[in-house]
Structure 1
Amino acid sequence: MSDESVIGATTRIRGNVTGSGSLVVEGQVEGDIVMEGDVVLGEGGRVRGSIQGASLRVAGQVAGDLKAGDSISVESGARVVGDIIAARIGIAEGALVRGLVQTEGEPAPRPAVRSAAAARSIPSRSTSAAPRAAAPSRRPSAAPAKTQASPAKSKSEEKAEPKEKPSKPKSESKAAKSRKPPAPVVPAVRRGAQAKKKRKAR
């Protein structure tokens, strides 16, 4: 094929289509399309198979996978039933896609050396742990006062020791001493009266 090939609206192809240039599809293709250049599917174009090229622009209907090395653009009104794989993918509003959408490409190289600002902001992790602040020393608590426990006395020692009698208060002892028996009462005898002897009852 030349730089650009066109499949007209009235053309119908059954089989795979390959080429080194670009391809514009306005008709129907039942098979896979593999091109080294770009592939454009018009609004009236229909493809039942996968399409692969440098970049794809789809405005018609595709029942198959789409794969491009650069970019894939799905226009409004297009219908794609299959997976879409490319480094850049654009799907317009109103387009229908049923399948997996995956972007792939060479990942951006990671910087080998960090900038000085990044090195300052991010502390380096070291194997040794950071020293912790010394905990305040606790003063030893005062030891409790020792109480001498007297040995328990045996029953024999308890019996041998005389029991102390409860001492009476001094006030009671003084009151007891102050209390004396009353003086005997002698009846007074009138003068001239004779004393009568009491007879003992027999």
Structure 2
Amino acid sequence: MVDEKKKILKIILILSLIIIAWFVYSEYFKKDKSLLSKTVNLSTKIEEEVVYNSNIIKDINYTSRDLKGNEYILVAKVGEIDLDNSDIIFLTDVTAYIKLVKNSELIVITSNYGKYNTINYDTIFSKNVKIDYIDNIITGDYLDFSMIKNLIIISRNVVYKNLENTMKADVIELDTTTKDTKIFMYNSNEQVNVTNIK
């Protein structure tokens, strides 16, 4: 009789241990699964915020004038406002028109990409940059335009063509007010390469 009670007690103890172990095991994994699902939901939420916070604008057109009446028109197919600085817009397929009051001249700048500051109108053009100005065409990889300084600086793989010459240089600076142009190389030992077309 005592042996039977001991056996029953042992069986009850073993069953209790199995039930307790199963309960702890299932509770532990439920917490892990909920923690895992929270992590997945968190990463999904972050991705959604990135998508919703990217401020894409299509068919952009900005127009501004300086005190002398020179007009600057900037057109782009797509623009994206910088999330860190709302004054900066990144542009795609860019065309800029600089209409100079003096002599009613027009400078046209095109490029694949641009970076525009809505406060001071400074614009950086990059990739397949082209300036079309009267009978002059200048191409390069990078262009910095400052409306305040009336200055266009085109650099990297610069080729300047007019009716008479073709020039290759590192940098061309053009003052839009005075029409003064500086053409130079970064290395003072190198010379600007000029080819006469005629």
- TM tier, shorter chain? under 0.3
Counting strand residues as a fraction of each chain, which structure ranks higher?
2
TM-score by length of 1: 0.22
> Greater Rg, structure 1 or structure 2?
1
